[in-house]
């Protein structure tokens, strides 16, 4: 028996959605092996990791908190990826969004009033947009790969944040800890319930808005055409340059909102580690959610679970805090591998006798 | 007629896709040294049959034998091991690699060694297919690219060569050279299974023919004695009408609806062609044909007309008297123009999108019901796609399929229908019937003629000289980016056009 991949005549629509489920199944198998190899009872470990967080109110709340930035960034990434633009630097746009959004609360702490919060959010969005505009400009003007430029700008952004909170923006009453002053009340995203804040509402609005843009508007159609067949897009009269600029601006802006939302709604101040890698994990959310805004929402919840489960496993089992990254990486690898079956199907080829010519040989 | 032994025999081949039998009990025998034509409309089952013979598809029923011994061809590698080579209509070459590198990729690892460049040179020269092994594919015209594919097959010393529509991309001279090569191969005992829509060349070249229609063999005429009309009738199952005789029609006196005035455009890629002072007028009611050898500026001229490459000067192009040289495609469409590019997949249509979305692609700017206030109206788009499918006899899977799921000819009918359905005042079309079967091609040409008769100005760019002669009222020739003056079809001859195509007017 020989196993072959044969190309399908048309992409399988069933596999588009079956593939992530298959990938999750494989991730669980992988987890079983991993925990067994680490000397833990796999069933108990997987229970601690994937089931227990779903049974307690506080951890469910925490999942929503963590899913919020993931969904905000992830829908933006779904849009750019659909337009065949590869923004890998959402983490940097998130960071610069957080920095720009913090300008008013940190530098003008006496500024108060109902307009402060909207201003903070707009600054965050503009910061993310500006950071994403840099790779957009280099791509459109010089043809530089946005994959490299956007990724490298992540490290620039992180060092900028580090310098700010250790230097000019360090909290004068902060005992020399590398952190900014705390946001005043009017600059804080109000809580919905418990630790959940209004950033979640923004995320849901972003999901709905992008679902409409991509599926129902001429602009979204334009992005999809440019992504699928740039030449056909030019023939239709769409500008590839403008599309690249637009999708990068939108995704950068959403990452910026995620950044300032996290700082304003969850953390309350700037410090060097405002993200456990949301900008990168959101790439996984985008692919796991099939580059579909609603799909990204669910994928974000699942990836948030891997963060919470990772913390739980760290506490109850004593495994490394890197375990969450391992599981996220496994999900991405499995989903990309399973996506092969969208284009190809498995074919089991029975082994045949050797070819006729060989039989003739003496 | 060569009397070689039966080399390949297929008996009772059946292949079903869903409920449709693409091949329905097909028998075919190819003899050594024979040039055997496989004729049929798009969707007649030719591609399915050769894919089975080449091992990329497995038949549901039936048997294949090779030199009298039953065999199964499990995949193309096994086919090549038997001695079957295939040259596809759409080449599979890496543009960034050299000729030799492309050939090396297709050969078994042990054959792709150091001496390959010399082998390539000697085989290509001995068969009259000169190739420079070190040339980069991106810089080569289509005709030369095809040579790479052929030489790639020949290096493996095939005993049966399958050629899918080889002349659709060639100039008459290139085609003639290819025929010589094929005759020589046949003389050496190699069999050729030759798929074509061009009846004249089948009559010229082939010893025998098998005609398919709706997946069945409908005849095995002798191409040497059968008339073109006989062959065409077998293929389409009805008498084929011409597009309407263009001769004897008075010169069009309508207003100039499309004008190009002194258009010069620098090539934007190293391999492009610069347009040099191109001028042309097309009046309402006439079809002006632009003949020329592939790669002489046709793509650039089309892009300049459609607005994909805007000119630097507004006055360079006029549509219905409106200067529009710097406008993009959408605004030119709003002036009443329509465009049909040569390449269907990825240019005229997005293969991964549905027909309704592909209808929106070129109609969103002119059909307000498709998009208002930036919102798409998908049900309207589906209705439009359905109307095009019905009016232009597009044979497509049920519902709203992806464009990539249609056969080449049917997608072309859709793309042409999408533009003609608007009743444009000016139409620029490139290679209107490229790779389309004779029935569909006749239909498309008749539609173009009808559009002109209703007062539209039609500019048709084609490398098919027969097509140009058949449909055009006036003919211009493009060569190295320069366009000759358009002359009435009745006042010119094939020889005159051929000379201009060969650069005599430069």
Instruction: Please report the pLDDT score of residue B239 as a whole number.
Output: 46
A221 pLDDT more than 90: yes
Q: What percent of chain B has pLDDT over 70?
A: 91
Q: Sort B440 into a burial class: Cβ within 10 Å, 0-12 / 13-18 / 19+.
A: buried
Distance, C-alpha B328 to centroid of its chain: 27
Say how far apart CA B459 and CA B452 lie, in whole Å. 10
Tokens of B268: 């934007």
Nearest CA in chain B to A219: B374
Instruction: Please report the pLDDT score of residue A362 as a whole number.
Output: 38
Number of domains comprising chain A: 1
Instruction: Please report the pLDDT score of residue A351 as a whole number.
Output: 67
**Which of B350, B362, B415 has the highest number of chain A CBs within 10 A, making it the mutation to test binding with A?**
B350
Question: What phi, psi does B195 have (nearest 5°)?
Answer: -95, 130
Residue whose C-alpha is closest to residue A306's, from A23, A43, A22, A48 = A48
Contacts of A9 (CB under 8 A, 6+ apart): B17, B405
Q: Which domain holds residue A261?
A: 2-357
Q: Are A267 and A274 in contact (CB under 8 A)?
A: yes
Mean pLDDT of all residues in A153-160 = 98
Distance, C-alpha B25 to centroid of its chain: 29
From residue A21, give the alpha-carbon distance in Å to each of A16, A17, A77, A268, A294. 10, 7, 21, 37, 16
Mean pLDDT of all residues in B225-243 = 67
Q: Residue A42: inside a domain, yes or no?
A: yes
pLDDT digits (tens, 9 = 90+) for B396-454: 888 899 998 888 889 999 999 999 999 999 999 999 988 787 788 889 999 999 999 99
Q: Are B85 and B161 in contact (CB under 8 A)?
A: yes
Q: Residue A295: inside a domain, yes or no?
A: yes
ipTM value, please give it. Answer: 0.86
B303 pLDDT more than 90: yes
Q: Do A221 and B360 touch (CB under 8 A)?
A: yes
* In B64-211, alpha helices (H): 76-82, 99-106, 116-126, 142-154, 172-187, 199-205
Q: Residue A362: inside a domain, yes or no?
A: no
B354 touching chain A per CB within 8 A: no
Contacts of A362 (CB under 8 A, 6+ apart): none
Contacts of B364 in chain A (CB under 8 A): 218, 221, 236
Nearest CA in chain A to B65: A356
B68 touching chain A per CB within 8 A: no
B360 pLDDT more than 60: yes
B260 pLDDT more than 70: yes
Tokens of B213: 């229609």
Q: Which of A87-96, B102-111, B296-305, B487-496 has the highest mean pLDDT?
A: A87-96
Query: Across chain A, what does the average pLDDT equal?
Result: 92
Distance in Å, alpha carbon of B361 to nearest chain A alpha carbon: 6
Query: Across chain B, what does the average pLDDT equal?
Result: 87
B245 pLDDT more than 60: no
Q: Residue A343: inside a domain, yes or no?
A: yes
Distance in Å, alpha carbon of B339 to nearest chain A alpha carbon: 9
Interface list for A 219-278 with B (CB within 8 A) = 219, 221, 224-225, 228-229, 231-232, 234-237, 239
Instruction: Please report the pLDDT score of residue B502 as a whole number.
Output: 62
From residue B345, give the alpha-carbon distance in Å to each of A232, B153, B352, B415, B430. 8, 26, 9, 10, 14
Contacts of A235 in chain B (CB under 8 A): 306, 308, 329, 339, 341, 347-348, 361-362
- Sequence length of chain A is 362
Q: Are B166 and B193 in contact (CB under 8 A)?
A: no
Question: What phi, psi does B328 have (nearest 5°)?
Answer: -85, 175
Distance in Å, alpha carbon of A206 to nearest chain B alpha carbon: 18
What is the CATH classification number for the domain harbouring A110? 1.10.3470
B342 pLDDT more than 60: yes
Q: What is the dihedral of CA A306, A308, A313, A314, to 10 degrees?
A: 120
Measured between CB atoms, which of A9, A217, A234 is closest to B375? A217
Band (pLDDT 50/70/90 cuts) for residue A353 is low
Residue whose C-alpha is closest to residue B440's, from B175, B44, B166 = B44
Tokens of A102: 């913090």
Instruction: Please report the pLDDT score of residue B168 as a whole number.
Output: 60
B45 touching chain A per CB within 8 A: no
B165 pLDDT more than 90: no
B17 touching chain A per CB within 8 A: yes
Instruction: Please report the pLDDT score of residue A358 as a whole number.
Output: 40
B1 pLDDT more than 70: no
pLDDT digits (tens, 9 = 90+) for A100-119: 999 999 999 999 999 999 99
Contacts of B362 in chain A (CB under 8 A): 235-236
Q: Are A251 and A132 in contact (CB under 8 A)?
A: yes
Inter-chain contacts counted by CB atoms under 8 A, chains A and B: 78
From residue B174, give the alpha-carbon distance in Å to each of B295, B430, B502. 13, 20, 12
Band (pLDDT 50/70/90 cuts) for residue B228 is confident
B233 pLDDT more than 60: yes
B353 touching chain A per CB within 8 A: yes
Mean pLDDT of all residues in B472-491 = 91
In terms of pLDDT, which residue wins out, B92 or B58?
Answer: B58
Band (pLDDT 50/70/90 cuts) for residue B364 is very high
From residue A357, give the alpha-carbon distance in Å to each of A56, A339, B64, B70, B429. 69, 39, 15, 11, 52
B242 pLDDT more than 80: no
Residue by residue, DSSP assigns B320-378 as TTEE-TT--HHHHHHTTEEEE-S-TBTTTB-TTSBHHHHHHHHHTTT-TTTEETTEE-H
B234 pLDDT more than 70: yes
B346 pLDDT more than 50: yes
B333 touching chain A per CB within 8 A: yes
Tokens 């090539």: give the residue.
Answer: B267
Tokens of B365: 């700017």
Measured between CB atoms, which of A224, A231, A237 is closest to B330? A237
Say how far apart CA B292 and CA B472 lie, in whole Å. 14
Mean pLDDT of all residues in A175-199 = 91
Q: What percent of chain B has pLDDT over 90?
A: 50
Q: pTM here? A: 0.75
Band (pLDDT 50/70/90 cuts) for residue B121 is confident
A5 touching chain B per CB within 8 A: no
Instruction: Please report the pLDDT score of residue A142 as a whole number.
Output: 93
Band (pLDDT 50/70/90 cuts) for residue B3 is low
Q: Are B165 and B435 in contact (CB under 8 A)?
A: yes
Band (pLDDT 50/70/90 cuts) for residue A226 is very high
A306 pLDDT more than 70: yes
Tokens 């609360």: give the residue.
Answer: A105
A356 pLDDT more than 60: no
Say how far apart CA B276 and CA A28 lie, in whole Å. 65
Element (H, E) at A265: none
Say how far apart CA A246 and CA A80 lie, in whole Å. 9
Instruction: Please report the pLDDT score of residue B147 as a whole number.
Output: 85
Measured between CB atoms, which of B66, B74, B361 is closest to A236? B361
Choose the weakest-confidence range: A257-271, B95-109, B471-485.
B95-109
Instruction: Please report the pLDDT score of residue A197 as a whole number.
Output: 94
Distance, C-alpha B320 to centroid of its chain: 31
**Cα angle A64, A67, A73; round to 5:** 145
Q: Are B2 and B31 in contact (CB under 8 A)?
A: yes
Q: Do A218 and B371 touch (CB under 8 A)?
A: yes
Residue by residue, DSSP assigns A196-235 as EETHHHHHHHHHHHHHHHHHHBHHHHHHHHHHH-HHHHHH
Instruction: Please report the pLDDT score of residue B240 as a whole number.
Output: 45
In terms of pLDDT, which residue wins out, A256 or B178?
Answer: A256
B504 pLDDT more than 60: no
B246 pLDDT more than 60: no
Instruction: Please report the pLDDT score of residue B244 as a whole number.
Output: 43
Band (pLDDT 50/70/90 cuts) for residue B18 is low
Q: Are B461 and B275 in contact (CB under 8 A)?
A: no
B16 pLDDT more than 90: no
Q: Residue A324: inside a domain, yes or no?
A: yes
Residue whose C-alpha is closest to residue B301's, from B463, B494, B433 = B463
- Sequence length of chain B is 506
Measured between CB atoms, which of A232, A349, A356 is closest to B361? A232
Measured between CB atoms, which of B72, B350, B364 is closest to A232? B350
pLDDT digits (tens, 9 = 90+) for A56-81: 999 999 999 999 999 999 999 999 99
**Which of A232, A243, A348, A356 has the highest number of chain B CBs within 10 A, making it the mutation to test binding with B?**
A232
Contacts of B261 (CB under 8 A, 6+ apart): B279, B315, B316, B317, B318
Q: Are B147 and B78 in contact (CB under 8 A)?
A: no
Nearest CA in chain A to B371: A218
Say how far apart CA B151 and CA B144 lie, in whole Å. 10
Interface list for B 259-318 with A (CB within 8 A) = 306-308
Say how far apart CA B165 and CA A320 lie, in whole Å. 62
Mean pLDDT of all residues in B481-500 = 84
């Amino acid at each position: 028996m020989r196993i072959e991949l044969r190309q399908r005549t048309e992409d399988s629509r069933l596999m588009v959605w079956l593939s992530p489920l298959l990938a999750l199944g494989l991730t669980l198998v992988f987890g079983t092996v991993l925990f067994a190899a680490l000397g833990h009872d796999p069933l108990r470990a997987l229970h601690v990791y994937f089931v227990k967080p779903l049974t307690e109110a506080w951890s469910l709340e925490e999942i929503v908190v963590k899913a919020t930035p993931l969904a905000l960034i992830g829908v933006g990434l779904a849009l750019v990826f659909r337009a065949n633009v590869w923004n890998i630097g959402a983490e940097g746009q998130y960071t610069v969004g957080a920095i720009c959004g913090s300008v008013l609360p940190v530098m003008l702490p006496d500024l108060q009033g109902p307009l402060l919060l909207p201003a903070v959010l707009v600054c965050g969005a503009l910061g993310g947009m500006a950071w994403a505009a840099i790779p957009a400009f280099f791509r459109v003007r010089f043809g530089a790969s946005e994959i490299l430029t956007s990724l490298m700008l992540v490290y620039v952004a992180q060092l900028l944040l580090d310098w700010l909170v250790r230097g000019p923006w360090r909290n004068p009453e902060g005992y020399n800890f590398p952190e900014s002053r705390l946001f005043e009340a009017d600059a804080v995203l109000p809580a919905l319930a418990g630790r959940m804040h209004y950033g979640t509402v923004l995320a849901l609005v972003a999901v709905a808005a992008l679902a409409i843009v991509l599926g129902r508007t001429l602009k979204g159609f334009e992005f999809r055409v440019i992504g699928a067949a740039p030449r056909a897009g030019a023939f239709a009269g769409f500008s590839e340059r403008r599309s690249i600029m637009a999708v990068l601006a939108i995704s950068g802006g959403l990452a910026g909102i995620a950044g300032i939302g996290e700082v304003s709604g969850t953390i309350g101040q700037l410090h060097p580690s405002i993200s456990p890698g949301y900008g990168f994990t959101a790439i996984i959310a985008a692919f796991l959610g099939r580059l579909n805004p609603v799909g990204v929402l669910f994928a974000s919840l699942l990836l948030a679970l891997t963060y919470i489960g990772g913390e739980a496993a760290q506490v109850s089992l004593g495994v490394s805090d890197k375990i969450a990254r391992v599981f996220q990486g496994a999900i991405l690898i499995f989903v990309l591998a399973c996506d092969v079956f969208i284009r190809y199907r498995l074919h089991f080829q029975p082994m045949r006798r050797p070819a006729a010519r060989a039989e003739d040989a003496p | 007629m060569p009397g070689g032994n039966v080399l390949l025999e297929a008996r009772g081949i059946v292949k079903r896709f869903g409920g449709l039998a693409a091949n329905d009990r097909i028998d075919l025998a190819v003899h050594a040294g024979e040039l055997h034509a496989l004729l049929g409309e798009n969707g007649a089952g030719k591609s399915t049959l050769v894919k089975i013979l080449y091992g990329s598809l497995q038949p549901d029923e039936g048997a294949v034998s090779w030199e009298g011994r039953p065999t199964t061809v499990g995949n193309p590698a096994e086919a090549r091991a038997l001695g079957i080579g295939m040259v596809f209509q759409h080449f599979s070459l890496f543009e960034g690699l050299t000729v030799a590198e492309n050939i090396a990729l297709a050969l078994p690892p042990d054959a792709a060694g150091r001496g390959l460049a010399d082998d390539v040179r000697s085989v290509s020269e001995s068969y009259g297919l000169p190739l420079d092994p070190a040339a980069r594919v991106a810089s080569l015209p289509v005709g030369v690219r095809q040579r790479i594919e052929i030489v790639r097959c020949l290096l493996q010393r095939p005993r049966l060569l399958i050629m899918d529509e080889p002349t659709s991309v060639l100039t008459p001279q290139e085609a003639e050279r290819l025929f010589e090569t094929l005759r020589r191969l046949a003389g050496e005992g190699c069999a050729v299974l030759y798929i074509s829509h061009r009846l004249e060349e089948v009559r010229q070249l082939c010893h025998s023919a098998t005609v398919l229609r709706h997946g069945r063999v409908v005849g095995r005429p002798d191409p040497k004695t059968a008339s073109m009309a006989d062959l065409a009738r077998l293929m389409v199952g009805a008498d084929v009408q011409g597009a309407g005789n263009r001769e004897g029609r008075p010169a069009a006196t309508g207003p100039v609806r499309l004008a190009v005035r002194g258009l010069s455009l620098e090539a934007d890629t190293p391999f492009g062609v610069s347009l040099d002072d191109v001028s042309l007028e097309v009046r309402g009611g006439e079809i002006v044909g632009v003949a020329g050898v592939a790669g002489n500026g046709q793509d650039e001229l089309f892009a300049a007309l459609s607005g994909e490459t805007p000119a630097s000067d507004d006055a360079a192009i006029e549509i219905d008297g409106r200067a529009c040289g710097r406008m993009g495609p959408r605004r030119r469409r709003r002036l009443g123009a329509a465009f049909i590019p040569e390449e269907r997949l990825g240019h005229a249509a997005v293969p991964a999108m549905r027909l309704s979305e592909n209808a929106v692609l070129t109609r969103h700017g002119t059909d307000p019901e498709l998009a208002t206030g930036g919102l798409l109206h998908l049900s309207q788009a589906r209705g439009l796609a359905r109307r095009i499918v019905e009016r232009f006899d597009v044979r497509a899977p049920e519902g709203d399929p992806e464009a990539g799921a249609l056969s080449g000819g049917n997608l072309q009918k859709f793309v042409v229908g999408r533009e003609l359905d608007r009743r444009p005042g000016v139409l620029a079309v490139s290679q209107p019937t490229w790779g389309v079967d004779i029935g569909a091609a006749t239909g498309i040409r008749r539609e173009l003629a009808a559009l002109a008769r209703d007062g539209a100005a039609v500019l048709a760019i084609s490398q098919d000289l027969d097509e140009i002669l058949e449909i055009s009222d006036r003919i211009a020739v493009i060569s190295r980016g320069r366009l000759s003056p358009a002359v009435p079809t009745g006042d010119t001859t094939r020889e005159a056009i051929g000379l201009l195509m060969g650069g005599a007017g430069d």
